[in-house]
């Protein structure tokens, strides 16, 4: 008997541990009632720009043709590879009907799990979207131009050095850093990459002194950590350019996609899939609206000249 117990112990352990984990997960995430459809959402960093897409996505599901009771389960992981992967696994374990992931890295985390659950992504930088080509995935991309934002930034001042806030953990931001570096060669300015991956503190990384201007890539971590240096940036009159991630009202300039349009488009794609079309037969889309937000108030308070080109081209002015 004792021998038998010893023989089965490893087997029992291998079944019991995952079962306990699943029970634990289910106790927190399983909807209290049975919905017709369940959509799992990965919203990294709890970022407001992703919430803007999500809100429009949710509001447009019915219009897009998703009928019945829809349960939406939202995961808000920190944007590091392990947390994103855990968020994907949780939604797969719940066996949702569809996963919606915001940003390239969240979408990639789902694809890496090799699940059969369809994926709709949104808020993805178009040059990074090639890595998301998969039979179970489709989504909404945004073709925002790094060079355009640099060009507008340079209209404010002939900048000699730009600090680039990025994260080596986030593919999109690495691509954007490369684009800034390419533009630097043409426009003759130096690039100071500031890698915010991991637990590095932004203030420590910039302790040596602020550059003349900061380019905040579409890195979720950079957008979160920027808050720690915001006062310093304003007091030192550093020009800031925010790229991709929503309508930042804190930067001098922001170039981004229209989150409402992305949400509506993602809802259209989700509806097609939930109505039975295979994701492979639902073509991804590029959002059409690009916004340029110019913080006139900030530039005026810095005592800088206001370039009329920027006033003319901006889609929104902060006065």
* Interface contacts to other proteins, rule CB under 8 A: 143-145, 147-148, 151, 183, 186-187, 255, 288-290, 292, 308-309, 312-313
DSSP class of 169: T
- β-partners of residue 125 are 142
- β-partners of residue 41 are 74, 100
Q: Which residue number, 95 or 313, has a Cβ lying nearer to other proteins?
A: 313
Q: Which residue number, 80 or 268, has a Cβ lying nearer to other proteins?
A: 268
Q: Which residue number, 97 or 315, has a Cβ lying nearer to other proteins?
A: 315
Q: Is 203 buried (19+), middle (13-18) or exposed (0-12) by CB count in 10 A? A: exposed
Q: Which residue number, 141 or 225, has a Cβ lying nearer to other proteins?
A: 141
DSSP class of 6: H
Residue 153 contacts residue 159 (beta carbons within 8 Å): yes
φ/ψ (deg, to 5) at 170: -115, 115
Closest separation in Å from C-beta 174 to other proteins: 19
Q: Which residue number, 96 or 153, has a Cβ lying nearer to other proteins?
A: 153
Closest separation in Å from C-beta 308 to other proteins: 5
- β-partners of residue 165 are 194, 216
Closest separation in Å from C-beta 290 to other proteins: 5
Among residues 129, 94, 137, the alpha carbon closest in space to that of 112 is found at 137
Closest separation in Å from C-beta 34 to other proteins: 41
Residue 150 contacts residue 156 (beta carbons within 8 Å): no
Closest separation in Å from C-beta 148 to other proteins: 4
């Amino acid at each position: 008997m004792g021998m038998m117990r010893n023989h089965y112990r490893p087997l029992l352990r291998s079944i019991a541990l995952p079962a306990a984990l699943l029970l634990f997960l289910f106790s927190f995430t399983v909807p209290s009632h049975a919905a017709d459809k369940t959509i799992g959402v990965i919203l990294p960093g709890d970022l407001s720009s992703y919430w803007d897409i999500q809100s429009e996505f949710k509001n447009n599901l019915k219009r897009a043709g998703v009928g019945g009771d829809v349960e939406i389960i939202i995961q808000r992981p920190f944007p590091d590879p392990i947390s994103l992967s855990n968020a994907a696994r949780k939604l797969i374990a719940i066996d949702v009907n569809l996963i919606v992931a915001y940003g390239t890295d969240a979408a990639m985390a789902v694809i890496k799990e090799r699940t059969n659950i369809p994926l709709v992504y949104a808020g993805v930088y178009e040059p990074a979207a090639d890595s998301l080509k998969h039979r179970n995935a489709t989504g909404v991309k945004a073709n925002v131009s790094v060079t355009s934002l640099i060009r507008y930034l340079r209209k404010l001042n002939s900048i000699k050095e730009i600090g680039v806030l990025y994260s080596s953990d986030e593919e999109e931001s690495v691509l954007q850093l490369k684009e800034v570096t390419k533009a630097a060669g043409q426009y003759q300015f130096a690039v100071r990459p500031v890698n915010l991956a991991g637990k590095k503190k932004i203030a420590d990384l910039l302790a040596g002194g602020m550059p003349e201007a900061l380019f905040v890539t579409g890195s979720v971590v950079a957008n979160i950590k920027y808050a720690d240096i915001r006062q310093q940036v304003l007091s030192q009159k550093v020009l800031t350019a925010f790229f991709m991630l929503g309508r930042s009202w804190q930067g001098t300039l922001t170039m981004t996609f229209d989150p409402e349009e992305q949400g509506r488009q993602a809802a259209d794609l989700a509806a097609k899939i939930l109505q039975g079309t295979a994701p492979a037969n639902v073509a991804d889309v590029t959002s059409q609206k690009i916004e340029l937000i110019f913080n006139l108030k900030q530039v005026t308070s810095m005592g800088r000249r206001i370039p009329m080109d920027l006033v003319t081209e901006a889609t929104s002015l902060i006065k």
